[in-house]
A and B are shown apart, each in its own frame.
Chain A
């Protein structure tokens, strides 16, 4: 009896000691990681600061100068704001249209790419790598570069902007969609296979219902990003609200009230899109 107790205490001792070894090793690793992380951050900051034209510490004080100037001037002409905001609406609609069309096209093609490049779902498993690389290429080029090339070829306007954003969206959403689809349950798909469904039927009836909530929330997030992207493309002559913004800012002092009006309109748009999209997404997820 006493033997047994002795044995069990030494067993306990042993498991305590071996776990403490594990803990000590883990602590040492995390200690090393923290030290390396801090060292890299500090040295990286110093290097970047040394390579910049100005200095970080010299410039940091001026960071609010330009926004301050803009807000001050807009404050003086606050009575102009409602009119200017209303005036920005037509070009805002153009910007929104570009973003919406690009998101729709990008999400549809991205979905197809995603299914073709997901392990376990792909129609041609050997070509998964090819489709993945195609999406990598689409993501690699910034929208603005594609847009500039397309403007050179097709001339300015909303269509090149839409194509440029759609291409990037295809690559970005394809990757995210594929990761969602990878986690989809394979049982319903097997069930459909057992009744002799084709690949497209299996994807539409077996995968889509499972991934719809996550796919739609990624697509809606992308829509927000694309509104901003399409506003930026206005700066390179694609029309829309970005063009107005560039003109207003280029004029310098005297039109800052218009700059503020455009920012307010953009902000409100993002808020409205966020609120309505989360409302509809909730309905989709909860199936009401």
Chain B
């Protein structure tokens, strides 16, 4: 279904993503973990074509994504929705308009400039908001909402695209634990109910273990772990985060310790973000 072959991205003499090769044969919920700067975001950005690959290919259902240009490329971006850490909504526009932005690729530029969206689209946008539990916020400006609500608007925009894949770049990193759970539950439900593939960058191990079917660990641009969440042992986690050698940044979250205490069930305790 989705095949990534020796995908590499260099910024000057620094290699952010180094010959990543992955094969995903059915829609599943995938968590990508690793410390900051491991190349997780760059990988997702290349999948969405927000960044060009230096070399290597991405193929989805026999289409080579990395070779797409112009309107084909934008059509792919519409099929592969992206959710950002900082939500990336238009703050001064109302919630429904932000959700309707998910249809921009399908509509003519002129019609959207005059705000002429079909009534059926508007109804569907509000249905999606209702599904995510924020329909009553519809006429408000996006900037007036809390972080968790804004992230759900971003998810609604992604659903409005009716995508094959949803990419989420640290969707809960700027949310409090309560909202983080709501957002992750929503992503999981979208995967289960709609059967869409969800690829989610996370920097907390317990979230990955709790929500994902498959976990990919990255370190310094390379894939160092690829397996089931149950296989994520303390040793593997140490390896991914480079903990032990230098106990810093990503490793300061409580997960490593949690895992140390042997058979702790995938904890409800969220990381200190």
Which A residues contact B (CB, under 8 angstroms)? 8, 11-12, 15-16, 18-20, 22-23, 26-27, 30
Contact = CB atoms under 8 A, between A and B. Distances in A.
B139 A22 contact: yes
Contacts of A26: 115
A26 B122 CA distance: 14
A190 B121 CA distance: 49
Nearest to B124: A16
10 contacts: A12-B135, A15-B126, A15-B130, A15-B138, A16-B122, A16-B123, A19-B122, A19-B126, A22-B139, A27-B116
B138 A19 contact: yes
B136 A15 contact: yes
A20 to B, nearest CB: 6
B96 interface: yes
A16 B116 CA distance: 16
Which label, helix, strand, loop or mixed, suits the secondary structure of the A interface?
helix
Contacts of B119: 20
B114 interface: yes
The 6 closest A-B pairs by CB, nearest first: A15-B135, A16-B126, A12-B130, A19-B138, A16-B123, A15-B138
A19 B96 contact: yes
A30 B135 contact: no
Nearest to A23: B122
Interface in B142-185: none
A19 B116 contact: no
A8 B119 CA distance: 20
A27 B115 contact: yes
Interface in B250-264: none
B192 interface: no
B127 interface: yes
A26 B130 CA distance: 23
B122 A12 contact: no
Contacts of B115: 23, 26-27, 30
Interface string B106-119: 00000000111001
Contacts, number: 33
Contacts of B116: 27
A4 B43 CA distance: 43
A64 B139 CA distance: 53
A12 B139 contact: no
A180 B50 CA distance: 32
A12 to B, nearest CB: 5
Contacts of B135: 11-12, 15
Contacts of A15: 126, 130, 135-136, 138
B12 to A, nearest CB: 16
A20 B100 CA distance: 13
A12 B114 contact: no
Nearest to A21: B139
Nearest to A11: B135
A18 B123 CA distance: 11
A43 B109 CA distance: 29
Contacts of B136: 15
A19 B127 contact: no
A12 B128 CA distance: 10
A211 to B, nearest CB: 23
Given A12-B126, A12-B127, A12-B130, A19 B114 contact: no
Contacts of A8: 130
A19 B96 CA distance: 9
A243 B55 CA distance: 60
Contacts of A30: 114-115
Given A12-B135, A16-B123, A30-B115, 8 more contacts: A8-B130, A12-B127, A15-B126, A15-B135, A15-B136, A18-B139, A26-B115, A30-B114
A32 to B, nearest CB: 13
B107 to A, nearest CB: 15
Contact of A20 (B122, B127, B130): B122
Interface in B69-114: 96, 114
Nearest to B127: A12
A26 B117 CA distance: 12
Contacts of B96: 19
A84 to B, nearest CB: 47
A16 B251 CA distance: 46
A18 B130 CA distance: 14
Contacts of A16: 122-123, 126-127
A234 B145 CA distance: 58
Nearest to B130: A12
A275 B93 CA distance: 37
A15 B119 CA distance: 13
A108 B189 CA distance: 60
Contacts of A20: 119, 122-123
Nearest to A24: B119
A18 B139 CA distance: 9
A106 B227 CA distance: 67
Contacts of A18: 139
Nearest to A34: B114
Nearest to A22: B139
A21 to B, nearest CB: 10
